[in-house]
Copies of this chain bind each other. A is one copy, B any other.
Amino acid sequence: MDRNAPIGVFDSGIGGLTVAREIIRQMPNERMVYFGDTARLPYGSKSQDTVIRYSRQIIRFLKTQNVKAIVIACNTATACALEAVKEDLDIPIIGVINAGVRTAVNSTRNGKIGVIGTAATIRSDVYTKELKKLRADLEIIGKPCPLFVPLVEEGLWHDTVTDEIASRYLSCLKGKYIDTLVMGCTHYPLLRSTFRRVMGDEVTLVNPAYETAIELKALLEENGLSCTENPGEDQYHFFVSDQAENFTNFATAILPNEIQETKQINIEEY
């Protein structure tokens, strides 16, 4: 495996860009190929079988780009598909759940952890299972928050309506006196300041995007896969299954660099 090959990152759409952003910040020399499944988003309302089928198609596409490792930058796809797709893959693959789980367990003092995410992520109970594997006596309170993704995508990152919806969604978590809140959807770091305001300074916000980039860096080092050459100009490639122009605008708003181009592919061919 070529250590200077790109990292493959995928998500159902734009949310995974918060993970891509952390990878760019923490590993500025690494190349990256990002795929956003914008034709078939959101994954949060889909069944496990469907999400596994979609993830397999995307991984087949990323392999055509010679990626050296893959990050599933999507909580729903990690929850539904990581274990299934890992089996038949010959390169390292990580999701966005493990790193956040480890950080949450290390952060909590009172053992009460809240998890927010899409309906599918919370329904899958993956955070509860993974957190309890590390510490069985934890009390985990999961809360599905289906409106946060459309609010982020409508640009209401700092808005009274988002505050109101957040107050409603998070009130049950405040009532349980959690001291740690896992942002279990990749869109959610963009609403961090709202969560901070609603939850107060006492609660630790865990950002799995940030933690996952740290995990990826260690994984590449362990496997002798860290990039050693200057990536040059052609460092980042973005692909989507639909609406390339919208994606480019959103990516430019989220990432540190301006995005020149997003290519559209027919993912169902893979």
Contact = CB atoms under 8 A, between A and B. Distances in A.
Interface of A: 38-41, 45-47, 50, 146-147, 149-151, 153-154, 160-161, 164-165, 242-243, 246, 268
Contacts of A246: 45
Contact of A165 (B38, B161, B242, B268): B161
9 contacts: A39-B40, A39-B46, A40-B40, A45-B243, A46-B243, A146-B153, A147-B151, A150-B150, A161-B164
A94 to B, nearest CB: 26
A40 B39 CA distance: 8
Given A47-B242, A146-B153, 17 more contacts: A38-B45, A39-B46, A40-B40, A41-B45, A45-B242, A45-B246, A46-B243, A47-B243, A50-B242, A146-B154, A147-B147, A147-B154, A150-B150, A160-B164, A161-B165, A164-B164, A268-B268
Contacts of A50: 39, 242
Contacts of A160: 164
Nearest to A155: B146
Given A161-B161, A164-B161, A165-B161, A242 B146 contact: no
Contacts of A154: 146-147
Going nearest first, the 5 A-B pairs with the smallest beta carbon separation are A150-B150, A47-B242, A46-B242, A39-B50, A50-B242
Contacts of A153: 146
A243 B50 CA distance: 10
Contacts of A39: 40, 46-47, 50
A95 to B, nearest CB: 21
Nearest to A264: B47
Q: Which of A38, A39, A41, A153 has the largest number of chain B CB atoms within 10 A?
A: A39
Contacts of A45: 38, 41, 242-243, 246
Nearest to A156: B147
Nearest to A119: B246
Contacts of A38: 45
Contacts of A165: 161
Q: Which of A41, A150, A160, A246 has the largest number of chain B CB atoms within 10 A?
A: A150
A242 B120 CA distance: 12
A147 B149 CA distance: 10
A38 B45 CA distance: 8
Nearest to A38: B45
A150 B41 CA distance: 13
